[in-house]
Chain A
Amino acid sequence: MGWLLPQLVTLAGVALTAALIIAWCSPFEALGWWAGWSGGLDDDVGALPRVVQPSTTRSYLVYLTGIGGFAPNEEGYSRRELSFFDGLSAQLPDVVLVHDVFPFSVSNNPLDGQRQLAGLWSWLHSRVRKPGGALLYNLVMTRNMMQVAVSSDRRYGPIYNYGVGREIAQSLVRHGYRPDSYTPVVLLGVSGGGQVALGAAPTVRALLGAPVTVISLAGVLSDDPGIDTIEHLYHLQGSRDRVPLLGALLFPGRWPWVGHSNWNRAQHDGRITLIDTGPMTHMGEHEYLARRAVLPNGQRHVDHTIELIEKIFVEEGLCARTQQSAVSSQQG
């Protein structure tokens, strides 16, 4: 076994170096975009046709994927996510669901989009279900995780979050949102997408004049200043999921004894609601959107997650259903 140790040390060294390089390069995409090096700021907002929504539309729900995300389209989303979208649309018929924004790019550029390493990311994505592919896919997750770090960094966050917020606002307009209509917008962020949702919220509010609510599905959240501009933050977390606790651990503004942080102020003011989703995990067979895993009461995980989100919409008046009709439909 003596031969194994040097190999493992070498492997760990290579992995650490790769992570360091990815981390060091991670702010460049957002900063280069802002500086105009990639020409991203002059995107044409009218590039796609605008949809006209029915007058019964009560609110808009924007889905921001987790750090395993690859592209905001059918090929990029997992089957669980696509099934989740179907369930949400069925339960919230008067809510427009938007899921074409990639939260780990400041210019909504998917990993297989126009970027130098598109070939590498595509190859990793194509191998994810093959032997060893999941291990290699950690590179994609590391890359996206570093973008979450950029979002939460007070030096880079304002630029990054402005970029993502701008893409969300543009997507909402393409989906029929009328600026200054005060139609509520809900940002639903999964895992690292939760932090990006929180960071982008002030821009969405500023650009559209919209009241913004954030739902974090197991989000790893920092003490982001964006929390001061939102209506409410709902944080959904499973009892078997320890990953969101990283946010509470790594960001000093979330430590309970740091009195005047944005997070602690919001918590004191009752603008944060923590919701226990039951024995769900962050990833794997028992995660929040799992279709086969069931709770002790027999309900599928994905159905319970949708039910909790629906409940938030009902309580906040973000959909036409009332609490009574929701209860009677569940009983029926």
Chain B
Amino acid sequence: MSTITTVTEFWGALWQAVGRVLLLDATVFPAVRATAGGLELALCILLLAGISQTLGQSVTLFANRVSRRRFLRALVLSALVFYVERRVLGRRRSGWIARLIFGYDGPLRGVLISVGLSYAPLLFGLFVFLPYLGNPLAHLLRIWVLLATIVAIVSNAGLPIMQALVCVVVGWIVWQAASSYAGRRIEQVLDAVERRLLGTTLSDTLDLSSEVARERERLRAR
């Protein structure tokens, strides 16, 4: 097992791994698994992907008129939520499904590394902020992550591609069901954290009506 000893080595290994994941190179997954510090490397990619993704979708923060200081807090909070969600709850589902349906019994550390790496395409998430191109790019990145996840499962569990695809699809359905069941409670917790950190709860929709009404009055009063 190779070992990463310096920060420079860590970043070098990280960008090399990212490049190979982006090319959907299946050999990168066992290589990182066989590296001491591979888990940290994969989780670092996941965290950076979370920050990039959050930056790309920061229009919600602006629409909610958060101040600059709270904007930074919200970025950190959203990136952490992304990280924790994927690390603790999210993609481990594919590992469980691989165990339940296909009898795979490998270590979950391997699953976590593979899945952390497979989020590497979201390092480009900040480009979702681009006007016009942002939306199609977001779809492209989702597909890229999906493909990388399939390659990761094939590599980690040694499953055929179709079975890996089933894992991902069933995992997605389970996640949607779990989200809708537990969603309200999770949302309440996140709302409370948002209120605490940002002083407001973020809304996904932009409401211009009160602003329009105020401006109408100003123009008429003139």
Question: Could you tell me which A residues sit within 8 Å of B by CB distance?
Answer: 20, 23-24, 26-27, 31-32, 34-37, 41, 45-46, 50, 146, 149-150, 152-156, 158-159, 162, 166, 169-170, 173, 179-180, 203, 206-208, 250
Question: Known pairs A27-B59, A34-B63. 11 more at Cβ < 8 A?
Answer: A23-B130, A23-B131, A26-B131, A31-B62, A36-B67, A45-B219, A149-B132, A150-B131, A155-B134, A156-B131, A159-B206
> A180 and B220: CB pair below 8 A?
yes
CA distance A206 to B66 in the complex (A): 26
Which of A34, A37, A146, A208 is close to B131, meaning CB atoms less than 8 Å apart? A146
Chain B residues with Cβ below 8 Å from A41 are: 211
CA distance A23 to B128 in the complex (A): 11
Describe A's contact surface by its main secondary structure: helix
CA distance A304 to B10 in the complex (A): 67
> B222 and A46: CB pair below 8 A?
yes
> B62 and A173: CB pair below 8 A?
no
> A24 and B222: CB pair below 8 A?
no
- Give the size category of B's interface with A: 20 to 34
Query: C-beta contact mask, B104-143 vs A, less than 8 Å → 1, else 0?
Result: 0000000000000000000000110111111100000000
Question: Could you tell me which B residues sit within 8 Å of A by CB distance?
Answer: 59, 61-63, 65-68, 71, 126-127, 129-135, 206, 208, 211-212, 215-216, 218-220, 222
Residues A27 and B129 in contact in the complex (CB < 8 Å), given A173-B219, A180-B220, A207-B215 = yes
> A24 and B62: CB pair below 8 A?
no
Chain B residues with Cβ below 8 Å from A34 are: 62-63, 65
Kindly list the 4 A-B residue pairs having the minimum CB-CB distance in the complex, ordered from nearest. Answer: A31-B62, A149-B131, A149-B132, A153-B131
Chain A residues with Cβ below 8 Å from B68 are: 37
> A250 and B219: CB pair below 8 A?
no
CA distance A301 to B132 in the complex (A): 33
CA distance A303 to B206 in the complex (A): 44
> B127 and A24: CB pair below 8 A?
yes
CA distance A303 to B130 in the complex (A): 40
Which of B59, B126, B222 is close to A173, meaning CB atoms less than 8 Å apart? B222
